[in-house]
């Protein structure tokens, strides 16, 4: 009997060596953020595209994944993880890979603008 493809994806979704700093769980204990992720209880295949997925199917699947993310208590930690790695595939923290690329480009542009601003690094008091 073949196992559903989502079971292998669930293990690969958050590799242990790439997990960011711990967050507090419902009992106040520090632990990896992904232990509280709602997607751990849902179908992991919802968050990653099968090969050659038709566009309409991909969009519907991504919207369903985003609905799961919207109710997740660690959505922001998940999103930041995906942005810092950066994760090249899947829906993480309510954002698709394409949406994450836009966020990263905006962050880079903002950093460059701040560096280029007159007096950006000069906080000394004249006197």
List residues forming the annotated binding site for [4Fe-4S] cluster.
39, 69, 72, 78
Element (H, E) at 76: helix 75-84
d(CA 118, CA 50): 48
d(CA 66, CA 16): 23
Sorted by sequence, the CB contacts under 8 Å of residue 114 that are 6+ apart come out as 120
Annotated binding-site residues read 39, 69, 72, 78
Q: What does the DSSP 8-state code read for residue 38?
A: G
Sign for the pseudo-dihedral over CA of 34, 38, 42, 43? negative
DSSP bridge pairs for 24:
30
């Amino acid at each position: 009997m073949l196992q559903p493809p989502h079971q292998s994806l669930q293990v690969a979704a958050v590799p242990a060596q790439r997990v960011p700093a711990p967050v507090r769980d419902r009992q106040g204990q520090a632990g990896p953020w992904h232990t509280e992720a709602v997607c751990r209880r849902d179908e992991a295949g919802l968050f990653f595209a099968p090969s050659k997925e038709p566009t309409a199917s991909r969009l519907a699947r991504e919207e369903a994944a985003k609905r799961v993310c919207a109710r997740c208590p660690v959505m922001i930690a998940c999103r930041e993880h995906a942005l810092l790695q950066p994760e090249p595939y899947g829906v993480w923290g309510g954002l698709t890979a394409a949406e994450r690329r836009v966020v990263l480009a905006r962050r880079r542009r903002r950093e460059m603008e701040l560096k280029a601003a007159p007096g950006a690094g000069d906080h000394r008091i004249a006197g």
